[in-house]
Structure 1
Amino acid sequence: MAKDLFNRYIWLVDTIYRARRITFEEINARWVRTEMSGGEEIPLRTFHNHRKAIEEIFDINIGCSKGGGYYYFIENAEDMERGGVRSWLLNTFAVNNLINESHHLKRRILFEQIPSGQHFLTPLIEAMRDGVTVELTYQSFGRDEANTFEVEPYCVKVFRQRWYLVARSPYYDKVMIYSLDRIHDLEATSRAFDYPKSFAPEEFFRFSFGIIVDEEYDVESVRLKVYGTKCKYLRALPLHDTQVEVERGEGYAVFSYLLRPTYDFVQELLSHGDEVEVLSPDWLRAAMREKVQAMLAHYADGEGGAR
């Protein structure tokens, strides 16, 4: 039921956003053409309940213009166009809903699956909305058994086909990160918690490449020399928000970053092979050299396993 409501909210936002200005009657006309409707219209009271829920959950305000008739519109459409969670919601859930409605196109539209979001994302968002803790049964990759404990959900983040929960652990008295695909069970409690006004999710991840926030690594200036067509790829899709192109030459470019060079960032650099070279800091360049030499050792004896 919660998943169905979530899909209805996204459909409603997407419909109004694309129309720019639309009457309630026009919304209903489009709604009854979807399979979600079951051929039934949206009661006006239900529509206004959806408007309120959308504002509370997603901070998306559906306004109403009374001049020349009652027209509904997205008040903060500019924010959606700039990106962030609103843009993601439209580009992911709205497209997914459309695909589900267009059965004959399903085999012609391919996209990445994020299995971890299927069961736990909706109840987590509801718990965040209601300001209550959640009880997790969680098994990290480093443990043989799952443990059950309570956390205060602060925010969620998607990275590399996995959803992550950022939550404060009362037991450890610190903010920790949990992967949704390692959760065995999740249940919202009735215990309220105070979401700290000082916690800003974007600021929390500001100097992280991906999901790792490790303060043992200092925020440093990293310079990469990038070769060939890889330069164009990074110009089109930067590795990090702080990316700046500081030099451009024949067949190469130099990019600078300000971040914590954690494990996930090193793995990202390795994935680009000989098209990316670390210029600085010196310790990261040396660490990359060691990684490359270790990789070379795996292939030094010819066929795999011949040692």
Structure 2
Amino acid sequence: MGCPAAAIVGSSRRRSGRRQGMSIGDPGALAQETLWVRAMTWDIRGKRVLVTGATSGIGLEAARSQYVSREAVHPERFQDSRRQFVFLVRGGEKALPEKEDVLEEVVDALQRRRGLQIRYRDFVGARKSVRIEPLSLAVYDHQLYVIGRPRGGPTHAYRFSRIETAETVGGTFPYPDKDSYDPERVFADSFGIIVDDKYPIEQIEMSLAPRWTSYVRSHRWHRSQESVVRSGRVHVRLRVRVCPELVSWILGFGPDARVIGPPRLKRHIGRLAQRMARTHHADGAS
């Protein structure tokens, strides 16, 4: 988790009014971008994986051309590559291939800087009709998200599989410059995909049982992470949004985790743990 190691399609490949390897006004640009997204979502469905680096500026086309050129020179080195280099998919994008027409509408609006009218079900299942300005298409935890914002509203990550319909509407909108919208900055303090301002950014500290020491030293959940061993327990500090994703992560350690601060989070985890204990006790009694 942490600032999502997501492949982001959209602004992250935009440089000085041009896409890498294509012009914004190029009639073939949309087709190339659609191919990019199709390949990316193909990976999500578990059929194939190409490692792309949105954060390092390496595009899919560059990765593909580099791969192909090396394979042409040394084909014997690549005959087992799909088993030698493996990306393990957990679940994958549930909405594909059934919603490929919706995906194409999203990509079209994203490339042409057009608004999108979407019918969307939120986390609790409530259906909403929202008009958004699409800013990026992102992959996080093997799932697709449309990063957009209602006109004049805050940036939000819309889960693609819960978008029931999408229709391009209105004229073009001015795509924000990097000072106004940069995915790296938007997600810098997020523990996962949630970027809503209603979840405050705070300094988090928890301690884990000694058996987690080696794991913590070799694992990074967020770029702000710091760790120290104190009195036998390993302490982890993060500066992130206090959101449901963070809470679920802490609870995942079970009794090995102890929240040090902030106090509000500590109390919340304590209440949840008590409720979980009552629930499981009741299930056992029945």
Report the TM-score when normalising by structure 1.
Answer: 0.60
Question: In the alignment, what sits opposite 1:193?
Answer: 173
Confirm whether residue 131 of structure 1 aligns to residue 113 of structure 2.
yes
Identity of aligned pairs, percent?
21
Residue 299 of structure 1: how far off its partner (Å): 2.2
Please give the per-residue CA displacement for 1:136-185, whole angstroms capped at 9, x wherever unaligned. 222224345x4444321012333334322121213x74433311011112
Residue 111 of structure 1 is aligned with which of 89, 98, 110?
Answer: 89
Q: Does 1:263 align with 2:221?
A: no
What secondary structure, in the 3-state scheme, does the structure 2 residue paired with 1:256 have? Answer: strand
Structure 1: runs of 5+ lacking an equivalent:
1-47, 59-79, 95-100
Aligned pair in 2 of structure 1 residues 236, 52: CA closer, same or farther (>3 Å)?
farther
Q: Is residue 2:135 matched to residue 1:157?
A: no
**Partners of 1:222 and 1:257 within 8 A in 2:** yes
Judged with a 3 Å threshold, the aligned counterparts in structure 2 of structure 1 residues 268 and 89 are, in CA distance, closer, same or farther, namely farther
2:275 corresponding residue in structure 1: 294
* Residue equivalent to 1:84: 55
Pairing 1:177–2:148 present: no
Equivalent in the alignment of 1:142: 124
- Please give the alpha-carbon distance, in whole angstroms, between the structure 2 residues aligned to 1:57 and 1:194: 24
Report how far residue 51 of structure 1 moved: 8.9
One-letter amino acid of the structure 1 residue matched with residue 240 of structure 2: L
AA aligned to 1:142 is V
Q: Equivalents in 2 of 1:271, 1:57: separation in Å?
A: 37
2:214 to 232, 237, 241: 232
Which secondary structure does the structure 2 equivalent of 1:299 belong to? helix
Equivalent position amino acid for 2:202 in 1: E
- Once the two structures are superposed, the pairs formed by residues 26-65 of structure 1 within 5 Å of their partners are none
Determine if contact 2:147/2:156 at 8 Å carries over to the other structure.
yes
Distance change in 2, residues 1:110/1:211 (3 Å) = closer
Give the distance between the partners of 1:257 and 1:109, measured in 2 at CA. Answer: 27
- Structure 2 CA distance for aligned equivalents of residues 258 and 109 of structure 1: 29
* CA–CA separation in structure 2 for the residues paired with 1:126 and 1:85: 25
Query: Which of 220, 225, 240 is the matching residue for 1:243?
Result: 225
CA contact (8 A) 1:137 1:184 kept: yes
In 2, Cα distance between equivalents of 1:229 and 1:50: 54
Change over 3 Å in CA distance of 1:302–1:114 after alignment to 2 = closer
- Residue type matched to 1:115 in 2? K
Deviation at 1:129, TM superposition (A): 2.1
Tell me by how many angstroms 1:290 deviates: 0.9
What secondary structure, in the 3-state scheme, does the structure 2 residue paired with 1:214 have?
coil
How many pairs align? Answer: 226
Q: CA deviation at 1:260?
A: 1.7
CA RMSD in angstroms comes to: 4.1
The aligned amino acid for 2:233 is Y
Q: Is the 8 A contact 2:114 2:169 kept in 1?
A: yes
CA distance in 1 between counterparts of 2:125 and 2:35 reads 34
Structure having the higher helix fraction is 1
Q: Give structure 2 stretches of 5+ with no counterpart.
A: 1-25, 37-50, 66-78
Bigger CA radius of gyration: 1
CA positional deviation for 1:115: 2.5
Query: Quick one: distance in 2 between partners of 1:109 and 1:177?
Result: 24
